[in-house]
Structure 1
Amino acid sequence: MADFILCNWSAWAPGLERKDDRLMGSGNAAAPKCVPKTLQRRLTPLAKAVFNVSELCVGRGITPPVVFSSAHGEICKSLAMLKTIQAGEELSPTAFSLSVHNAIAGLFSIAYGNTQEITVLAPGQEGIAPAFIEALGMLHEGAGEVLMLLYDEPIADFYPIAPFNLNTSSPCVLALRIALTGDGLPLQFLRSPQPRDDGEHPVQLLNFLKFLLAGERSLSLGNQGHSWTWCKK
């Protein structure tokens, strides 16, 4: 069991109605102005959303440790490169270098000069819980605050989905700034004995965002016997 404070959050989820100031508009947001122009052109719409959501949550000039969590990263970029190879065309070196799972985190650290600890997770069927475990570990090791960036976008039909509930109909990016003390929403995070099958990271991410927006006091999510519960205190 772990207690922490959700100091602030912000999100981009085009599939949800915008009823909260912490929800970014559903349009394709431009890159933040503070990002150097040489990097702006390298950012995909998903990366731009991650950058904008993080600024709404933390503010400019603040660089806490960061946990990035995504099931697929920008896997659609990899599919585009495969199609390029199939067509007998040459690959763009820039596209290739930015197709790895931690590409957004790398660009983020460069754009903001963030030299704090950065962790990038691909949690698979474990869902969003590993990001919380990692971030809470950073807090208990001495970090004053930790920024969590959880994101995924729909994957192309080319990739097999069954038997796992991997996909969602729209992208979602969620930024959470957490601490052990201070102002904000007190939350409790604990292991749940109840076996569950709530889908993987993209589905759980959207469910957690809805939990923040709704009046429910608790949310349980899990897969394969690994279940967790978040409680508003």
Structure 2
Amino acid sequence: MHFRIEQWRAWAPGLDSTDDWRAWCRTPVPLEDAQQQPDVGFLPALQRRRLSRLARMMFHVAWPLAEGHRALPLVFASRHGDAPRTLALLEQLASGEPLSPTQFSLSVHNATIGLWSILRGDTSEMSALAAAGDGLEQALLEACSLLGDGAPAVLLVLAEEMPPPLYAAQVDDVPFPYAVALLLTPGQDWRLQLHAGSGPRADWPHALNLLRALCGERHSLEHHWKNRRWIWSPTTA
């Protein structure tokens, strides 16, 4: 597959601007999660109160990239989704408390893109994926299929929330909460290839390693997951 990354934007606790991310990409280190909330002041106050931090992260990175696009297909990927909200509902069930219909409706995996569609007034095709270790690549396959069908641009967003402490023993692939948005257009700037083969697990989630490449710290990427070897290669200087 070939594609162009027209623009990108990312957020993590203490990291927001391009300069912030360039500094982190030079010397990547774990980040402390002090429960910072990304700015979504562009949304009405009533709507902001409904958003979990995962949704706020998604809106914060994606909204600026969507400006100027009246209709923009979207692919949203998150392996674990809104785990804190889901766990809160499970704890209410376990204690026999009634569930809030609003909280339940916002806990489903595609709730974030539903809110996005409503708040932007955009009825373009949108997908929510929950892939495992190569979720970024699976989301990119979906996005490139939309480009191949004639979409002039597609917005791809990958976001992960820090799991609740109860899940710490089962979830080891989220070093800190983060969100990455890519505005994709047809082009030949990047090539993604899939080969059979296994290899070592990367030190960082692949979306963060992609940021290192976009910030000039890496020139090509190999991502191994189970028996799949994904190779990302820039095709332009």
Q: TM-score, normalised by structure 1?
A: 0.84
Q: Which residue of 1 aligns with 2:201?
A: 198
Q: Which residue of 2 aligns with 1:9?
A: 8
Residue 53 (structure 1) aligned to one of 58, 61, 80:
61
- The superposition leaves residues 36-70 of structure 1 with CA deviations (integer Å, 9 ceiling, x where unpaired) of 44322110122112111112323255431010111
C-alpha contact 2:7 2:182 (8 A) present in aligned 1: yes
Q: Which residue of 1 aligns with 2:40?
A: 31
Aligned letter for 2:7? N
Does residue 189 of structure 1 match 2:195? Answer: no
Aligned-residue RMSD, C-alpha: 2.7
C-alpha contact 2:15 2:21 (8 A) present in aligned 1: no
Does residue 126 of structure 1 match 2:129? Answer: no
Does residue 68 of structure 1 match 2:101? Answer: no
1:13 and 1:101 mapped to 2: Cα distance? 21
Does residue 173 of structure 1 match 2:179? Answer: yes
Alignment partner of 2:165: what SS?
Answer: coil
Q: Which residue of 1 aligns with 2:220?
A: 218
In the alignment, structure 2 segments of 5+ residues that lack a partner are: 23-34
Aligned letter for 1:177? L
1:145 and 1:5 mapped to 2: Cα distance? 10
Shift in CA distance, 197/134, structure 1 to aligned 2, threshold 3 Å: farther
Aligned letter for 1:7? E
Alignment partner of 1:137: what SS?
Answer: helix
**1:177 deviation in Å?**
0.5
Alignment partner of 1:147: what SS?
Answer: strand
Q: Which residue of 2 aligns with 1:144?
A: 152
Equivalent pairs, count: 223
2:201 and 2:179 mapped to 1: Cα distance? 19
C-alpha contact 1:197 1:224 (8 A) present in aligned 2: no
Q: TM-score, normalised by structure 2?
A: 0.83
1:199 and 1:42 mapped to 2: Cα distance? 35
**1:86 deviation in Å?**
3.0
Identity over aligned residues, as a percent?
33
Shift in CA distance, 6/13, structure 1 to aligned 2, threshold 3 Å: same
Runs of 4+ residues deviating >4 angstroms: 15-19
C-alpha contact 1:22 1:56 (8 A) present in aligned 2: no
C-alpha contact 1:187 1:232 (8 A) present in aligned 2: yes
**1:195 deviation in Å?**
1.4
C-alpha contact 1:31 1:43 (8 A) present in aligned 2: no
1:105 and 1:225 mapped to 2: Cα distance? 31
C-alpha contact 2:11 2:38 (8 A) present in aligned 1: no
